[in-house]
Amino acid sequence: MKIILDTNFLMGVSQFNLDVFLELKGHDLRTVNGVIRELKKHAEGNGKKAQAAKFALKLVKSKGLKVLYSKEKDTDEAIVEYAKKGYAVATQDRLLRTNSKKLGATVIYIRQKRYLVVE
């Protein structure tokens, strides 16, 4: 299954100390250029959010995550466009999950900071 990873999902890896890459092993994991842009912006700051963003950027590189380029300026719109093309969406964003489900896309999210739910 092709899965698009959202910003907050990638940041959740360090925030919740959850190895989502192990859980999603065997799937084609990707992200969009807007997610990389958002992670870089968050990484500029200080604090836990910045640390999570820096860790997420390192994961993207070390795991060889494919970055898809989208013309959409809004990251969520770009992800929804890929959901329309049959990609599953991994996100913690409630609105993005709802919109993706309406399109019939599979949605993956972290529940109780411990495990993944696939809907």
Q: How many domains does the chain have?
A: 1
pLDDT at 91 over 90: yes
Can you give the CATH number for the domain in which 49 is found? 3.40.50.1010
Domain extent at residue 79: 2-118
Order of strands, sheet of 66-68, starting from the edge strand that comes earlier in the sequence: 66-68, 28-32, 2-5, 88-90, 107-111, 115-118
Q: Reduce the DSSP state of residue 70 to 3 states and report it.
A: coil
Average pLDDT over residues 100-112: 93
Predicted confidence (pLDDT) per residue in 5-18, tens digit: 999 999 988 888 88
